[in-house]
Chain A
Amino acid sequence: MSNPAALPTPPGSSSSSSSSPSATNAPEASDAISRLDALLEIYLDRLDRYQRLREELSQNFSAGFLSLAYANRSGNLGSGRRYGEEGYDARMKAGRRVRIQTKPGKAADLVGGAGACRKKKHVEEGADQRGPHSSGGGGGGGGGTIRYTTEQLIPSCEDDAEDETAHSPVVPYEMTAAQKAFISPPRDEKPSSSTTGPAADADTNTNTNNTRLPPPPLTPASSSLSSTQPPPPPPPPPNHTTNSSQQQPRSKSKSKSSKSKTKKAVNPLNWYGVLVPASLRAAQTSFACAIQGPIPQLVNIQLEMRDLECQIRKIRAEAGLTRLTGQDVE
């Protein structure tokens, strides 16, 4: 993942832009500038959240690894033996699965958000194509939005609760009405996104079909929706709820089948015996927390930020503040 500081933040945002307004169309420029300000505000907010999540993630990981070292020290497995890959079960199944919800639009390359967290839970990228109604990123006005969530397939040792649809609390990318009004004025230069929509879907499919379970086929309804629907104006909030109600039965049936299949030894902790030391449990909890919590949120925020950057660049180009680069035209 790229360092947020290294991201191309717009240089000298408000002061430089206000100092050199284009002389010809002053009211339009000021409108653009205020939209720009709103966007930058959101961007900074996301940046702040990103940094806090990174902190949380590093705390989770360092606590996890330290607990693991401590468990190794306890010598519970026998002297000189370590809790490592020698205990892996060759039949291991993913304990968490990444769900990717895409919204047709710009082909966003999949960042490997799941790769970093294979330590305990073996996150697999489940290429779960969802309908077009992803809740996030309404303000993009046609930018492709991908949302990552992790779902728990097997009950961990702590919570044997049966809520299969226990998603991480991903903060949806919502904007206030005023912000939306600023950011997405009626714009007509977006006809291409509807044509790239299915392509993007196909792209994500090919990127992620190295999974064990084949991706569930798109229902005809959703696929037709995704191909025909023009890039919507900011989707109304109820979309989210309908979407989640749509996907619930499917995910439930899936996890139920996986549960019956791997009835025994679902918890990887048991690979190392039943009487594992408390520090190993603590390590598992830490790693699981990292996967449940910060990682999907981080990836989502990173995507949001990228989206925002694009918008900022475009608005600046429209206002004549900078030249449109090839990156934005994509």
Chain B
Amino acid sequence: MEGMFYNVNGGFVEGIVRGYRNTLLTAQNYSNLTQCETIDDVKLQLGPAYGDTLAALPPNPSTSSLASKTTEKLVADFRYLQAQATGSLAKFMEYLTYGYMIDNVALLITGTLHERDTRELLERCHPLGWFETLPVLCVATNIEELYNSVLIETPLAPYFKGSLSHQDLDELNIEIVRNTLYKNYLEDFYHFVNNHPDMRGTPTAEVMSGVLEFEADRRAINITINSFGTELSKSERQKLYPQFGKLYPEGSLMLSRADDIESVGLAVSGVGDYKSFFDQMNQSGGVGAGNMAGGSANEGKSLEDLFYQKEMELSKLVFTHQFTHAVIYAWVKLREQEIRNITWIAECIAQNQKDRIGNYITVF
């Protein structure tokens, strides 16, 4: 029933996204890529999928320019979809861009703090997270000013609740602001997909809830692990955990008390998927500070890889649902992973580290 009228507004966009999904690189493409000897070969192999986008690159481009060009393609495709979207779908796609906005805000505030030339930084902002008043951010020197003069007009304004208590801008506070914004954003997005009249009770709500819960849990776990040995206190850390997800509330509480990677493993053991991640890491012996270090010799996947793998599987599953906005979210995630894979492969080729080139993640 719920899909009866979906195609009136969303059918065209959904069809395009499904078409995009079919152009994603497959395992066959990746195995061809890993055979490449130079970045030029990589460029050549990417020709069918990326077409003219990579043509402007100089011979043997750096991996960062390769990454930025592939991102450009993603942005162009996204903008095209956005131009077609109406109603709740348009709102949904706006929500997708808020995450990038938060990253851009953090970049600019940090740059201001570091006395950088902000015009230079503006060029480096993610195009999906661009908003009109972004350049004005460079004048802000404390959070209150930032909020009152600049961000009040932007979609991010509601997310500032809870982070205005910090007055001074320093690295720690920026990190807290950024993560608080992201937490509020995720919670808002979750609320949006579950309560918007167009989406409530539809496959969109169901599917998006799943992927957003996963994202929330992953953030909580990452924040916890990365905070070991830093000046972030446990009580502050707890405020950064999104208040939904499979870990919330018991797991979050245990996470907030965790001191080391073992207690993180214990905290997430209530959720089967995450438990198996930590079990796999235990088996491969990659637990500890080196669990995410690329330099170690163990062939086992790192926790981050396992999370990315899971994210990709979830995104792939989204395409089995019909009449849902979630395919756009899934497609963006898949494309981002594709860019990460390409960058990784190019990086391994450039650094002559062929033995680790197989660490890309693919589900197709």
**Which residues of A are at the interface with B, using a C-beta cutoff of 8 A?**
62-67, 69-82, 84, 86-91, 157, 264-265, 270-271, 273-279, 281-283, 286
Beta-carbon contacts under 8 Å, B220-239 to A? 222-223, 225-227, 229-232
The B322-364 residues at the A interface (CB cut-off 8 A) are 336, 339-340, 343-344, 347-348, 351, 353, 356
Stretch of B49-57, B288-296, B313-321 contacting A (4+ beta carbons < 8 Å): B288-296
Given the complex of chains A and B, what is the CA–CA distance between A278 and B340 in angstroms? 18
* A205 vs B364: C-alpha distance when bound (angstroms): 62
Report chain B residues within 8 Å CB of A69: 63, 294, 343-344, 347-348, 351
Say yes or no: is B100 at the interface (Cβ < 8 Å to chain A): yes
For this complex, 21 residue pairs linking A to B, each with C-beta atoms less than 8 Å apart, are A63-B295, A67-B293, A69-B343, A69-B351, A70-B294, A70-B295, A73-B294, A73-B344, A78-B103, A78-B126, A79-B336, A80-B336, A81-B107, A87-B110, A89-B114, A89-B115, A273-B174, A274-B232, A275-B230, A278-B225, A278-B290
Interface string of B265-301 (1 = CB under 8 A from A): 0000000000000000000000001111111000000
B67 at the interface (CB under 8 A from A): yes
Q: B: which residues have CB within 8 A of A?
A: 63-64, 67-68, 71, 99-100, 102-104, 106-107, 110-111, 114-117, 120-121, 124, 126, 170-172, 174-175, 178-179, 222-223, 225-227, 229-232, 289-295, 304, 336, 339-340, 343-344, 347-348, 351, 353, 356
Check B126–A76 contact: CB distance below 8 A: no
Closest chain B residue to A77, Cβ basis = B103
Q: Most chain-A CB neighbours within 10 Å: which of B103, B226, B353?
A: B226
Also in contact, A70 and B293, with CB within 8 A (given A75-B340, A81-B107): yes
CB-CB under 8 A from B295, the residues of chain A are 63-64, 66-67, 70, 279, 282-283, 286
Q: How far is the CB of A257 from chain B (nearest CB, A)?
A: 21
Using Cβ atoms and an 8 Å threshold, which residues of chain B touch A87? Answer: 110, 114
Residue of B227, B336, B339 touching A275 (CB-CB under 8 A): B227
Give the chain A neighbours of B126 by CB distance below 8 A: 78-81
Residues on B with C-beta less than 8 A from A273 are: 106, 110, 171, 174-175, 178
Q: Which residue of B lies closest to A71 (CB)?
A: B294
Least CB distance, B340 to chain A, in whole angstroms: 5
B179 to chain A minimum Cβ distance, whole angstroms, is 7
Whether A157 lies near B229 (C-beta < 8 A) is: yes
Which 6 residue pairs across A and B have the least CB separation, nearest first? Answer: A70-B294, A78-B103, A63-B295, A282-B293, A89-B114, A275-B226
Asked if residues A274 and B171 are in contact (CB atoms below 8 Å), the reply is yes
Contacts A70-B292, A278-B290 supplied; 10 other A-B pairs, CB < 8 Å: A66-B353, A70-B294, A72-B347, A78-B99, A79-B103, A271-B114, A275-B175, A282-B293, A282-B294, A282-B295
Q: Which residues from chain B contact A157 at a C-beta distance below 8 Å?
A: 229
Q: Which of A79, A90, A277, A282 contacts B100 (CB 8 A)?
A: A79
Q: Are B292 and A275 in contact (CB under 8 A)?
A: no
Q: Which residue of B lies closest to A273 (CB)?
A: B175
A92: min CB distance to chain B, Å: 8
Q: Chain B residues near A278 (CB, 8 Å)?
A: 225-226, 289-293
On whether the beta carbons of A275 and B223 are closer than 8 Å, the reply is yes
